[in-house]
């Protein structure tokens, strides 16, 4: 089994975080939690969960999961 190089993994993480930063979550009814999917070209598809503290405009990423495609 061949593992990706360290530089390749770092590049993919940078691309992933760039995409996360540019995609606005779609908030549910109470606007405190969101779940959405993003696809990063040449990296893969990820499922993102986010939460927003009450009374703020900022949000925190609580989970990033790789979606395996078969």
From 12, 48, 46, select the one nearest 27 (Cα to Cα).
Answer: 48
Task: State the Cα–Cα distance between residues 37 and 55, nearest whole angstrom.
Answer: 25
| Distance separating the N- and C-terminal Cα atoms of the chain | 19
Model confidence, pTM:
0.64
pLDDT number for residue 52: 85
Q: What is the pLDDT of residue 29?
A: 67
Q: Where are the domains of the chain?
A: 6-67
> What is the block-wise mean pLDDT of the chain (70 residues), using blocks of 10 residues?
77 80 73 82 83 84 82
């Amino acid at each position: 089994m061949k593992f990706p190089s360290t530089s390749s993994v770092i590049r993919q993480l940078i691309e992933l975080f760039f995409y996360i930063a540019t995609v606005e979550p779609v908030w549910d009814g109470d606007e405190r939690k969101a779940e959405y999917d993003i696809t990063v070209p040449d990296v893969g598809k990820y499922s993102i969960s986010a939460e927003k503290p009450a009374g703020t405009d900022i949000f925190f990423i609580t989970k990033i999961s790789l979606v395996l495609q078969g």
